[in-house]
């Protein structure tokens, strides 16, 4: 889930607590309960099925969030140590440096590519040698920033480690999005729904769960 989607979910959550009908004002304490622990207000109001589904899904989401947070830290330390050992990457380099290390076998290869692009633009197209030199000074890696992989095998292993970390990061963001969405759903359920309803879950795909909500007017 993107940051924009997360922000939208937060706005929905806040709006549902602030811009509710007059008849729902008495439910504000329950809405606060839902914002803190999804499903808790439903359980307090006797909507057991709804409460259990929301609470269970939140437990899964929170567990996934904590697990992926831990995994991200372990994986980050692992690929940084690997890059230091097999490519000579200085451990004090910023995070974006490790992305470039993933994309290029060595800093020499990166610098050659930068030189080719900059020469075509600044020297050939603009005829500005000074701008070319200034660009190369800022956008190439020398000294402590330099690296070179010992072999293509080590480079490929590093790429796999980075991709695994990136997938974990995506799952971490998704877990956070589900936590926020779950709270928004629970708050809206308490604030707006004034009829009997039924939440149900069914298997979906090899490892998914499909949630459905049925309203009885």
- Whole-angstrom CA distances from 167 to 71, 156, 163, 195, 211 are 11, 17, 6, 41, 24
Predicted local confidence at residue 192, as pLDDT: 75
Name which of 155, 171, 177 is nearest 79 in CA terms. 155
Residues of the chain with pLDDT under 70: 1-26, 193-217
For the chain, the straight-line distance linking the first and the last C-alpha, in angstroms and rounded, comes to 33
Task: Evaluate whether 65 touches 176 at the Cβ level (below 8 Å).
Answer: yes
How do residues 156-171 score in pLDDT, each as one tens digit? 999 999 999 999 999 9
One-character DSSP codes across 7-73 = HHHHHHHHHHHHS--GGGGGGHHHHHHHHHSTTHHHHHTT-HHHHHHHHHHHHHHHHHHHHHHHHHH
Predicted local confidence at residue 197, as pLDDT: 53
How do residues 114-130 score in pLDDT, each as one tens digit? 999 999 999 999 999 99
**pTM value?**
0.72
Helix axes 95-103, 152-191, angle to 10 degrees: 130
């Amino acid at each position: 889930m993107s940051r924009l989607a997360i922000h939208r979910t937060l706005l929905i959550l806040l709006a549902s607590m602030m811009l509710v009908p007059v008849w729902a004002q008495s439910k504000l304490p329950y809405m606060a309960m839902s914002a803190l622990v999804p499903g808790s207000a439903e359980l307090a109001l006797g909507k057991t099925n709804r409460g259990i589904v929301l609470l269970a899904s939140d437990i899964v989401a929170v567990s996934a969030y904590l697990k992926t947070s831990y995994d991200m830290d372990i994986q980050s330390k692992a690929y940084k140590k690997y890059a230091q050992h097999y490519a000579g990457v200085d451990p004090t380099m910023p995070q974006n440096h490790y992305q470039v290390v993933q994309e290029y076998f060595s800093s020499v290869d990166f610098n050659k590519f930068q030189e080719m692009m900059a020469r075509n633009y600044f020297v050939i197209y603009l005829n500005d040698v000074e701008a070319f030199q200034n660009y190369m000074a800022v956008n190439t890696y020398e000294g402590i920033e330099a690296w070179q992989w010992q072999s293509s095998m080590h480079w490929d292993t590093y790429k796999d480690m980075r991709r695994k970390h990136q997938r974990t990061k995506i799952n971490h963001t998704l877990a956070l999005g589900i936590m926020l969405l779950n709270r928004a759903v629970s708050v809206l359920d308490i604030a707006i729904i004034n009829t009997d309803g039924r939440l149900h879950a069914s298997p979906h795909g090899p490892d998914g769960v499909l949630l459905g909500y049925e309203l009885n007017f």
